[in-house]
Structure 1
Amino acid sequence: MASFFKNLFKSDAPPKATNFLEFLGADMHAHVLPSLDDGADSMTQALAMVQEMKQLGYRKLILTPHIMGDFYKNTPDGIRAKLAELIQALQQQEIAIELACAAEYYLDEWFVQKLDDKEPLLTFGDNYVLFETSFINEPMRFQDIIFKIKSNGYTPVLAHPERYSYLYNRWNSLAEWHENHVLFQVNLNSLVGYYGPEAKRRAEKLLQNKMIDFVGTDAHSEKHIRVLQKLAGSSTFEKLRQLPLRNQAL
């Protein structure tokens, strides 16, 4: 009788994969710092996200809130202060993982002004600067801005190039940018189709052409982290493991 009830309530869901992202070492794109942007909205949610990311195998998280003109008015001091709060909360919960912070800069006039003013930017690793553009419209003077970033001593890292619709029919532009030393960071969830079929196709083509320098969760919530489970054990995941990803050196 006991075995009957055990089988009756047995879940058909596959076992949850853990530690399968351990080979990456670090995630360098996540919106976990609470109440700074459209990511975690509370310390409780931030702690839950960190715990789940640790279970995936990450030893280090580089947290990257949006900095976007007059919409997300985050500053380096404000981001560092929130990081210190999260580290303290993790210590109280006895959750051991290394945390650091950078930012995801939006390519707008405010960002260009920071470059012109030589304002120190939040970076990660070897002076990498993570930036994004509009998803729909190509930024004006893109090459000029990239030149400014490099002239200020930074290495530009374009966040999720597979998701920009203005590039969907312009593979040559992507290839040219990468050849000109703009590094590419692909979202892991793009590889499982979370952002739609076109983003998935683009991510897979970048993978096939070995044009992925970093991968990130771009996690804004626990949902984004749980979707990553679909990647475990896939043929795409095995191809990803063969790339010399820069996450491993962070």
Structure 2
Amino acid sequence: MFNFFSKKNKITDISWLGVDIHSHILPGIDDGSPDLATSLRFVKSLQELGFDQLIATPHIYQELYPNTMETILRARDLLKQEMDTANIALKLGAGAEYMVDQDFKMDGTLCTLDQKHLLIEMSYLNESPNISQTIFDLEIKGFQPILAHPERYTFYFKDKSRLKRFKEKGCLLQLNLLSVLGYYGKEVKQLADALLKEKMYDLTGTDLHHDKHLTTLTEAIHSGKLYDLIGFYEFKNQELFGSISV
């Protein structure tokens, strides 16, 4: 049984969110989990926190992580086999987190989260020159882009008007859970708080890469702090992805 309430009526699990749409838990294919044993441990920990569905999103970044549908599904299947052996009844899906740069192409098969939604990112230091056109082109092709962790892009710290225009174009925005905890710094938290206040976010995710991420997240959930900060917010994780077959 999950510990839903502490003595002070704190909500100390994350079943209120249920679906994690952004993580790097597949073994050995990007800068996340290095091996199968670590991946299995991450999955067990996320289940214990209250997640019942995970959508892994390894990087596709040709310069560093030239993943393909084949490499991602192979890693997903290896992890799923280990989960079955360990009797872990948790849904495990896979998509990708695409770097929008000069190498990003829309030809071939794209690794979506659910045949429609595509997770994209940029460099933290400079906005991709073609980001607006990429969002438009994806939508023309029938995809709905999700911009990962907009609060972490330094070029939006003082001017978030571009993010509003992306929203107007139909792009969804995804918050990193650690951002509201101040994990990435004061300015990231300030922008995250501002975007939450203006109801700009549609989705959220762990963006889990390693044990330090997991430890920080676990402490915030078990203390009730994370729910106090954003448990009220109407994220669409369950609405958009809770019923997909994985």
| TM superposition score normalised by structure 1 | 0.87
1:151-205 deviation line (CA, Å, top 9, x unaligned): 1110010000000001111121222222221110010000000000000111111
Q: Secondary structure at the match of 1:110?
A: coil
**Aligned residue in 2 for 1:136:** 125
Structure 2: which amino acid aligns with 1:218?
A: D
* Kept in 1: contact 2:11–2:224 (CA 8 A): no
Alignment of 1:134-173 (within 5 A): 134-173=123-162
**Aligned residue in 2 for 1:242:** 232
- CA RMSD of the aligned region, Å? 1.7
Q: Structure 2 vs 1, CA of residues 37 and 218 (structure 1 numbering), >3 Å: closer, same or farther?
A: same
Distance 2:194 2:211 in 1: 27
1:16-62 deviation line (CA, Å, top 9, x unaligned): x9962101121000000010000000111101111110011000000
- Residue 210 (structure 2) pairs with residue 221 (structure 1): yes
Runs of 5+ unmatched residues, structure 2: 1-9, 242-246
Alignment of 1:203-218 (within 5 A): 203-218=192-207
Percent of residue pairs bearing the same amino acid type: 36
**Aligned residue in 1 for 2:82:** 89
Distance 2:138 2:57 in 1: 18
Distance 1:177 1:82 in 2: 32
**Aligned residue in 1 for 2:6:** none
1:67-94 deviation line (CA, Å, top 9, x unaligned): 0023211000110011010000111112
More helix by share: 1
Distance 2:44 2:23 in 1: 13
Distance 1:172 1:29 in 2: 25
Distance 1:22 1:239 in 2: 15
* Kept in 2: contact 1:19–1:57 (CA 8 A): no
How much does 1:239 deviate?
A: 5.3
Bigger radius of gyration: 1
Runs of 5+ unmatched residues, structure 1: 1-16
Q: 2:62 aligns with which of 63, 69, 73?
A: 69
Q: Which segment drifts farther, 77-86 or 137-146? A: 137-146
- Residue 38 (structure 2) pairs with residue 45 (structure 1): yes
How much does 1:134 deviate?
A: 0.6
Distance 1:178 1:129 in 2: 15
How much does 1:237 deviate?
A: 2.9
Q: Secondary structure at the match of 1:184?
A: strand
Count the aligned residue pairs. Answer: 229
* Kept in 1: contact 2:136–2:169 (CA 8 A): no
**Aligned residue in 1 for 2:224:** 233
| TM superposition score normalised by structure 2 | 0.88
Q: Secondary structure at the match of 1:22?
A: coil
Q: Secondary structure at the match of 2:173?
A: strand
* Kept in 1: contact 2:180–2:229 (CA 8 A): no
Distance 1:138 1:216 in 2: 22
Distance 1:172 1:237 in 2: 28
